[in-house]
Amino acid sequence: MDINLTQEELSFQAEVKEFLSENAHKPGTDYNEWRLNWFKVAASKGGWDVPKWPEAFGGPGWSPTQHYIWEQETSRAQTPWDLPFGLSMLAPVLMNYGSKEQQNRFLPDIRDRLVNWCQGYSEPNAGSDLANLKTKAALSEDGTHYLVNGTKVWTTLAHIADWMFCLTRTNDTGKKQEGITFLLIPMKQEGIEVKPIITLGGSHSVNMVHITDVKVPVENRIGEENKGWGYAKGLLAHERTGLAGISRSIVALESLKNQAGSVKRGNGSLMDEPTFKLKVAELEADLMAVEYTELRSLANAASGNEPGPESSILKLKGTEIQQRLQRLTMEAGGIYSSAWGMSNVGPSFARSGMSGYLSSRAFTIYGGASEVQKDVVAKNVLGLKK
C-alpha cells in the first residue's frame, strides 16, 4: 500500500491549509456570525461546507484521500462546531432511500444548518441489541399516518432538536430486523416529552424521550415499511467510522505530550519519567496501527466499496484510544484533575481532566458497544459462527 500523497493531493492539502488559515476565527469578533459565514465561504469553494456529500447533492465529490486530508487538517485548525446527525447520518439515508420530495424538503435546511436533528435509536431495553426495539408505529386505517408510542434513551441533544429520525416497530412477526420502519418525527409537538440525563462528567447532552400517541404522516416515512433496518445499518457503518476520531486523537496525543512536558518532575518533566513515557509510547504505537487500518479502509473506499467490518475495528480501537488519552491527561494533571473547573488551581489543562475522563466512559458504548463491534469482527473478519 502506497501511503505517499501524489503531487495533486499535496496541492489540495496546501489549498485546504490556506483556506483554513484565511478563514479562522479572529479574536474579538462575533463567533456565531463567523460560524455561519464560514459555511457560506466553504460552500463557495464548491461544496466544502458539506465535504461528505456527493456531487449530485452539492458536495465536492472528493476522493477518499481528499477526505482524509480534510479530516487531518480540520482536526488541527480552528473550524466551527457542527453537528453530525443531519449532515453525516441522516443525509446519506435521504440521498440513498428518500423520495425526491423528501430530499427537496429536508436536505437544503440540513445543509444550511437551520434545523437540528437527533437520533431515535436506543431504548431502555434495546441498546446494543437494537433490533429488540419496542417503540410502536401503527398505521391508521385510512393509511395517512402512523400513531407512534414508545421511549427512546441516550438521545443526544434531543432537548435542542427540531426533528428526530427514528426507528419504530411496525411488525411483530418474523425476524425482529424485518419489522422496523424509519420515520422522521417533529420534536416540537404535543406527545413528546424530553427528560434530561446528566452524565458522570456533569454535562447534559443525552436525554430520555417519551413518545405518546404522536401522529406521523406517511410522507415522513423513509423508504418502504418494515425495511428500516437495512437503511439504519448503512447509517451505523458511517457513524462508527466517524466516532473512531483518528485525526482528532493524533492531534490530542501531541497536545498531551506538550501538556505532560509542562509538568515539572525533579530536574525534568513528567515526559521524562519512564513509566509515563512508556504509556504514551504504547498509546502512540496503537494509534499508528489504527491510522494504518483507516488508510486501508480509504483504499477500499477508493475502489468504490461501502464501509465494511473495518468500520467496527476502527470504532472499537479508536474509542478505546480516546479513553486512554483522557486517562493519561487526567494522570498528567495529578491531584489538580479533581478540581472540576476551579480557576487558578494547577495547570489549565487539568481543570477539565476529571469531567473529560468520566465522560469518556461512554465512548465505547454509544454508536454500538465494544462487545457488539467484537461480534461483528468475529463474524465478518474472522469467519467465526455463533
Q: What tens digit of pLDDT does each residue of 165-205 get?
A: 999 999 999 899 999 999 999 999 999 999 999 988 788 99
Which class in CATH covers the domain with range 117-226?
mainly beta
Is the separation of the CB atoms in 375 and 313 below 8 Å? no
Q: β-pairing, 117-120 with 163-169?
A: parallel
Range list for CATH 1.20.140.10 in the chain: 244-380
Per-residue pLDDT at 382? 85
Q: How far apart are CA 362 and CA 355, in angstroms?
A: 12
Q: How far apart are CA 226 and CA 176, in angstroms?
A: 10
The CATH number given to 244-380 is 1.20.140.10
Per-residue pLDDT at 377? 85
Instruction: Please report the beta strands in 187-320, taking only residues with DSSP state E, as ranges in sequence order.
Output: 192-198, 204-217, 221-222, 264-265, 268-269
Per-residue pLDDT at 134? 96
Is the separation of the CB atoms in 65 and 301 below 8 Å? no
Query: Can you read off the three cell numbers belonging to residue 216?
Result: 406521523
Single pTM value for the model? 0.85
Q: What tens digit of pLDDT does each residue of 136-163 get?
A: 999 999 999 999 999 999 999 999 999 9
What's the Cα-to-Cα distance from 136 to each of 25, 81, 174, 194, 318, rounded to whole Å? Answer: 46, 34, 16, 18, 34
Is the separation of the CB atoms in 306 and 330 below 8 Å? no
Is the separation of the CB atoms in 113 and 99 below 8 Å? no
Per-residue pLDDT at 105? 98
Q: Mean pLDDT for the chain?
A: 90
Backbone angles phi, psi at 344, to 5 degrees: 60, 30
* SS3 of residue 39 by DSSP: helix
Backbone angles phi, psi at 143, to 5 degrees: 70, 20
Is the separation of the CB atoms in 111 and 50 below 8 Å? yes
Is the separation of the CB atoms in 148 and 127 below 8 Å? no
Is the separation of the CB atoms in 373 and 240 below 8 Å? yes
Low-confidence ranges of the chain (pLDDT < 70): 1-3, 234-243, 299, 301-308, 340-343
Per-residue pLDDT at 129? 82
Range list for CATH 2.40.110.10 in the chain: 117-226
Is the separation of the CB atoms in 131 and 368 below 8 Å? no
In 3D space, the residue among 205, 227, 168, 214 whose CA is nearest the CA of residue 187 turns out to be 214
Q: What is the distance between the terminal CA atoms of the chain, rounded to a whole angstrom?
A: 33
